[in-house]
Structure 1
Amino acid sequence: MAVHFPMSAAFKLDLTHRPRRLRRNATVRSLVEETVLRPADFIAPLFVVDGKGAPEAIASMPGVLRYNVADLVKECRALAKLGVPAVALFPKLDKKFKNDTGTAALDEDALILRAVRAVKKALPELVVMTDIALDPYTTHGHDGVLTADGGDVANDATVEILTKMAVLHAGAGVDFVAPSDMMDGRIGAIRQALDAAGNTQTSIMAYSAKFASAYYGPFRDAVGSAAAAGTRGLDKRTYQLNPANRREALIEVALDEAEGADVLMVKPAGAYLDIIREVREATKKPVAAYQVSGEYAQIMAASQLGWLDLAKTRHESLLAIKRAGADMILTYFAKEMAAELR
Structure 2
Amino acid sequence: MIHFPVVRKGPLRALSLRLFAALVLVLVIVGVVYLDRDGYRDVNEDGMTLLDCFYYAVVTLSTTGYGDITPVSDSARWVNVLIVTPARVLFLIILVGTTLEVLTEQYRTSLRTTRWRRNVKDHVIVCGYGTKGRSAISALLETGFDKSRIIVVERNPTVVRQATSAGLVAIEGSATRSAVLDEAHVRNAKAVIIAADSDDASVLVTLTVRQLTVGQVRIIAAVREAENAPLLKQSGAHHVIVSSATAGRLLGLSTSAPPLIDVVEDLLSPGQGMALAMRSANRDEVGRSPRELETLVIALVRRGKVVSLADPGGGAIETGDMLVYVRDDRSPAPAAS
Q: Please state which band the TM-score falls in when normalised by the shorter chain.
A: under 0.3
Task: Flag the structure with more relative contact order, 1 or 2, with Cα contacts below 8 A and sequence separation at least 6.
Answer: 1
Instruction: Answer 1 or 2: which has greater helix percent.
Output: 2
